[in-house]
Structure 1
Amino acid sequence: MNKGIFSLLIFIFSLFSAQQKPVQIAFLSDVHFQDLYGNFSDNDFKGITNPKTGKKTILRTMEAQLHSTRIFNENYFAFLKALDDIAEKGIEIVAMPGDFSDDGQAYNLRGLHQILEQYHQKYGIEFYITTGNHDPVGPFRKDAGKDDFLGQDGYPLGIYSKDNIGKINHRIITRDIAESGYLEILDELKNFGFYPKKENLFWSTPFAQYSLKDYSYEKALQKAAYTQRMYDVSEGFPVPDLSYVVEPVQGVWLMAIDGNTYIPKNTHENPANAENYKGAGIGYNNVLTHKKHLINWVKKTMEEARKNGKTVIAFTHYPMIDYNDGATKDIKNLLGEKKWQMERVPQDEVAKAFAEAGLQIHFAGHMHINDTGVRKIGSKMLVNVQVPSLAAYIPAYKVLTIQSPDKMEVRTKVLNDVPRFDELFPLYEKEYEVLQKEERKDSWNKDILKSASYHDFMLFHLKELVRLRMIPGDWPKDFIEKTKGFTGEDLLLLVKNTNKQKEKSIYNEAFKKWNMEDLLFDLYKLQSADELAKKDIPAERLQQYQILEKLFLKYKGNDPTTLKLKSVFKILTLLSHGDPADHFEINLKKSTIKRIGN
């Protein structure tokens, strides 16, 4: 064959293959980036010296981490590991559904900017960010600080933006710890989706009037300005909305929805008063009442996309679908309306509104959980994929592969091993020594410093979080006291005797291996990691839970403790049998979602 013709055929084949290559998007949510090795623009403090590395480090206490739903320090290393993984896989689009920083502080935003820019320059990765309730904490900048940074002597160190706030006498003052508002975040991170780039094929906001047909970079740039992205959250209270839609590659529209709704506490106050706004943690329930223009914008965008043959992938910080796998009612009945973060569960009207607007695929964060939710409204289907946090159990990110406009694959990438995850452990040793001197009864368990991997560290974090915060805060004290010493065998005998049954086939001894503390810990594992949690629960115990759930289901008595245990096992069963949440395929044409074997 003529060499010229052969070369031409190879070129055509390569071009065709490149065009057929599926688009991949990685979703990194709730990174909660805190710059361990950052610096302040107005203070020489660079942190305390780590005896292991000799590095100056700005970190929070372990005490603070184990009382929070997220860690503050080791997630720095997990973030780098995730980005390295993504780069190695050749993925060039990364979407970040909010809470990309600790609390939107200037020094953390600068550090995040530097890292994203490094990976963009080195690997060509394009980052697209949307806001979360931690960035910004409120619509406008406000003074703030933290009481729980770690000092060189092992005692807490306060870092504040001004001197008349905070509880800790040993303190650092820097304006860089203030909570940034929308304006500061937009200025620092505009290159990561919030502003258009010349290479984008399309970029728009809810406030832009142009269509794809008459799009130009110049028009988009004008509409990206802060002053062009305001709406009245209440009459006379203009606040920003940084939502945007972008076409980073031919045929795919990424819709970054700013789901933050900052409602004024007092409508008679000055609209510019940063302290007069409620937090946005409730999510989409407030969008339905105070940010309805987003629903209209989504509908308009979906119609435009359909007309032009575009595939739309939306992402927001907040879930659009109930993520409790059908257990929400039972959780409320057991614990109460305001426990287990029930106020954050989206109403059914949220899914209905966005499904009817035409939205089909949505990625969310906020809850630090792994989950998939599906709602079918007539002939329409909305799939909500909950992206886990890198700063909580189970630490993971999602990869979406768009095989075709109708068929997509979602895979969960768990970060089991993270280089340098134990780099800060010597500093926590000092902190623990101080707590021992103070004879603190509720001190954290030092065994967490024996963790052999990042996965183990995050699992231990969850265990301590359950012990120190979740059980005391969410569960009825009388129930915890009455069941405190129960083993699995006690639960089995309780329900067998109550039902007056003799299940001879059940081997009681096997149930002695675990207790009530294990049961509640496993419940939170399943709530956090969905099906991925089953790898962290002994298979024998999972089978025993199923046996107990069936036995408790038969209970018809009225003993309060037994009824609560009946609810616990029902909730556990529901949480462990949700929609596929690890590796699965979404078929929009057939309106199906199916698990893919790994």
Structure 2
Amino acid sequence: MSPALPFRFAVLSDAHVHDIEADHGLADAPEGLHVRLLADTMRSTRTFNESKAALEHALEDVAARGIRHVVITGDYSDDGQEPARRAARAVFQDASERLGLRIFLTVGNHDVFADEGRHRSKRFLTASGGYGLVTSDPERRDPQARSVTLSPAMRCLGSPQGLTELGAFGFFSAEHAAGWQTPFGTNPAPEARRYEVTSACGGRRAWLMDASYLVEPVPGIRFLMIDANVFVPLAPGERRADMHYTDSTNAGWAELLIHKPFLLPWMTEIAEAALRDGAQLFAFSHYPVVDPLDGTAEDERVLLGETEMVKRVPPDTVAAALIQAGIDLHFSGHLHVNDTAQARVSGRVLTNIAVPALCGFPPAYKIVTVQACAVSVETIRLDALALDPRLMRLYAREAAEDGLDPGALLEARDYGEFLSAHIGRIATRRYLKRDWAPAMAAAIRRLKLADLAWLAETSEPQAIAVVMPGDPDKQALVSPALADLPATELLGDWYRLRMGGDLGVDRIGPDRMSVYHALAQAFAAGDWPEGSAQAEFRRFFRMMSAYAEGLPSADFTIDRETGAISVD
């Protein structure tokens, strides 16, 4: 049955809900709030305390636009703890009952862990200063904590237990839907949805639940919701005390094709049925199926090594398998990036739309408008969300007491500025320390834009370990207004483009983007030997340009017959 068109739905991802007003077991909570440390936020790829407000704001915005169907592509909870699951459920129930939204979830790597769960430990501010640790692990110790509270509720549950509370949002039922099924039939019971998975050495087997399902929210529109978490049993010698399975974080679709072989034939059947019935099919999972880093993975391996991000880039075999199955459009989360990527095999196209996190830069979600032969995607920014003054007050207290340098975080006027400042901060506090080679990191810390312009224009190759600031008067690429901009600020913009694509370009602004483009061209024009400072920065700017100039990632239209992408 062909759907009534146009049909609109929203796609959100990586809400990572933490409820500051929920009781996590800390006796000495300031102002009655369970607030995660600013210090931890400044080292994390996401913010914690703003997450629930961001999700609520996004759902209110969706409803205000007259949209009634919402997909969330996993990591709806902070880390699968009971307070986080309950908070997510409460938000979704309120949105369903008060706003009339129909919400469908996929599961992410932070929501459940295999069938056994795992311990979680979190640090919270205390009213008396310092922090308290709340943990589900009876063996966990922290000599620096003011208190250590043992709370079984902090444990991330396994599946199906960890999904039960949220079962009404697609996992086990879909009220008023035109159709619902799993790879195993129409029985929603966990015992009817188990598959066998074997350890790498073949010595251990387990039967785990797969939470994939197909739902038809309205006649002719079908959502294929894939549980792409992969947990493989560990051999006895590989196990840790509380973990008997591999972590799903870096596994993604490459491991899914190996350990969940029943999914691809089912997806093929679903795609064939949609084509036969004249229905429109949309696939969703937590993990990307096409490289969301704009083809920069090889440059990244040379410049940075085998980073966590590179490990999560799916191989080409994944896209080929999905194209063969008849899938042409897939929405993902996980990497917290805003990106559009495509793969082509034998004239057929697969488009992956990576949806950014609600709790990281850039905070946004997608609106999808379905037409007969095309799909329009609009990216809705959440920048204007007001910051909670209670949190800002507690952050300032923590920074003063502990001697933290929060950069521009405490100067932010809204959520967009806060998250832009956050990614700028973790660029130096996390990524520069963890991912970048020491010599390159040291160069970024000591150089300015004028120095990089001089480096690009000089005729002599320079050693990255010893390259020093040049003569700013001997360069013409950078205007005086930006000449003294530290390369650490440039690094922040590098990550804004990496994570935000078009939204990063908008946040950075035309003046800086013009200078970055000129520097990229200047470094590209030189014939620099590998290992020189110029060759390193040539690769740096080549990656930066790829992030900025990839496929449209804000507002665009996809022709579903040809895969062509256009911008109005």
Q: TM-score, normalised by structure 2?
A: 0.91
Matched ranges for 1:408-447 at <5 A: 408-436=375-403, 443-445=404-406, 447=408
Equivalent of 1:161, from 136, 146, 154? 136
Aligned residue pairs: how many? Answer: 546
Q: 1:190 offset after TM fit, Å?
A: 0.7
Q: 1:274 to 1:131 in 2, by over 3 A?
A: farther
Deviations along 1:148-177, one digit per CA (max 9) or x if unpaired, are: 221112312111125332424602222211
Equivalent of 1:449, from 401, 407, 410? 410
1:251 and 2:220 aligned: yes
Q: 1:135 to 1:47 in 2, by over 3 A?
A: farther
Rounded to whole Å, the distance in 2 between the matches of 1:177 and 1:504 is 56
**1:548 alignment partner AA:** L
Rounded to whole Å, the distance in 2 between the matches of 1:318 and 1:140 is 22
Tell me the equivalent position of 1:363. Answer: 331
**2:421 alignment partner AA:** F
Tell me the equivalent position of 2:540. Answer: 568
Rounded to whole Å, the distance in 1 between the matches of 2:41 and 2:56 is 20
**What's the secondary structure of 1:119's corresponding residue?**
helix
**1:416 alignment partner AA:** D
Rounded to whole Å, the distance in 1 between the matches of 2:261 and 2:414 is 45
**What's the secondary structure of 1:536's corresponding residue?**
helix
1:347 and 2:323 aligned: no
Rounded to whole Å, the distance in 1 between the matches of 2:241 and 2:434 is 32
Q: 1:514 offset after TM fit, Å?
A: 2.2
1:582 and 2:554 aligned: yes
Q: 1:410 offset after TM fit, Å?
A: 0.5
Unmatched 5+ stretches in structure 2: 462-472
Rounded to whole Å, the distance in 2 between the matches of 1:432 and 1:524 is 24
Deviations along 1:405-463, one digit per CA (max 9) or x if unpaired, are: x2111010010111343431122233223313xxxxxx342641221011000011101
1:229 and 2:193 aligned: yes
Equivalent of 2:292, from 323, 342, 347? 323
1:204 and 2:176 aligned: no
Tell me the equivalent position of 2:254. Answer: 285
**1:522 alignment partner AA:** D
Rounded to whole Å, the distance in 1 between the matches of 2:426 and 2:291 is 23
Rounded to whole Å, the distance in 1 between the matches of 2:300 and 2:41 is 26
**2:295 alignment partner AA:** G
Q: 1:486 to 1:180 in 2, by over 3 A?
A: same
Q: 1:483 offset after TM fit, Å?
A: 4.3
Q: 1:483 to 1:453 in 2, by over 3 A?
A: closer
Matched ranges for 1:490-505 at <5 A: 490-498=451-459
**1:231 alignment partner AA:** Y
Equivalent of 2:20, from 36, 45, 50? 36
Identity, in percent, stands at 28
Equivalent of 1:485, from 446, 449, 455? 446
**What's the secondary structure of 1:385's corresponding residue?**
strand
Matched ranges for 1:100-115 at <5 A: 100-115=76-91
Deviations along 1:515-562, one digit per CA (max 9) or x if unpaired, are: 311221111010010011112223122222222222211222325212
Rounded to whole Å, the distance in 1 between the matches of 2:459 and 2:308 is 29
Q: 1:444 to 1:237 in 2, by over 3 A?
A: farther
Q: 1:28 offset after TM fit, Å?
A: 1.1
Structure label with greater radius of gyration = 1
Rounded to whole Å, the distance in 2 between the matches of 1:569 and 1:70 is 25
1:399 and 2:380 aligned: no
Rounded to whole Å, the distance in 2 between the matches of 1:288 and 1:200 is 29
Contact 1:233 1:290 in 2 (8 A): yes
Rounded to whole Å, the distance in 2 between the matches of 1:80 and 1:125 is 12
Equivalent of 1:195, from 172, 187, 190? 172
Tell me the equivalent position of 1:61. Answer: 37
Q: 1:506 to 1:478 in 2, by over 3 A?
A: closer
Q: 1:422 to 1:376 in 2, by over 3 A?
A: farther
Tell me the equivalent position of 1:6. Answer: none
Equivalent of 1:461, from 422, 426, 437? 422
**What's the secondary structure of 1:383's corresponding residue?**
strand
Q: 1:135 to 1:348 in 2, by over 3 A?
A: same
Deviations along 1:194-221, one digit per CA (max 9) or x if unpaired, are: 122352211111111xxxxxxxxxxx3x
Contact 2:387 2:415 in 1 (8 A): no
Matched ranges for 1:482-561 at <5 A: 482-498=443-459, 506=477, 509=480, 512-558=483-529, 560-561=532-533
Rounded to whole Å, the distance in 1 between the matches of 2:409 and 2:45 is 16
Q: TM-score, normalised by structure 1?
A: 0.87
**2:121 alignment partner AA:** G
**1:173 alignment partner AA:** L
Tell me the equivalent position of 1:181. Answer: 158
Q: 1:257 offset after TM fit, Å?
A: 0.3
Deviations along 1:16-70, one digit per CA (max 9) or x if unpaired, are: xxx8452111111000001222236xx6x577233xxxxx211210111110101
Contact 2:20 2:34 in 1 (8 A): yes
Rounded to whole Å, the distance in 2 between the matches of 1:149 and 1:64 is 10
Q: 1:115 offset after TM fit, Å?
A: 1.4
Q: 1:506 offset after TM fit, Å?
A: 4.9
Rounded to whole Å, the distance in 1 between the matches of 2:417 and 2:444 is 27
The range that moved more, 275-284 or 547-556, is 547-556
Tell me the equivalent position of 1:14. Answer: none
Q: 1:335 to 1:590 in 2, by over 3 A?
A: same
The range that moved more, 560-569 or 193-202, is 193-202
Deviations along 1:321-347, one digit per CA (max 9) or x if unpaired, are: 0011111111111111x2252110111
The range that moved more, 530-539 or 468-477, is 530-539
Deviations along 1:222-248, one digit per CA (max 9) or x if unpaired, are: x11111111112162111110000001
Contact 1:254 1:312 in 2 (8 A): yes
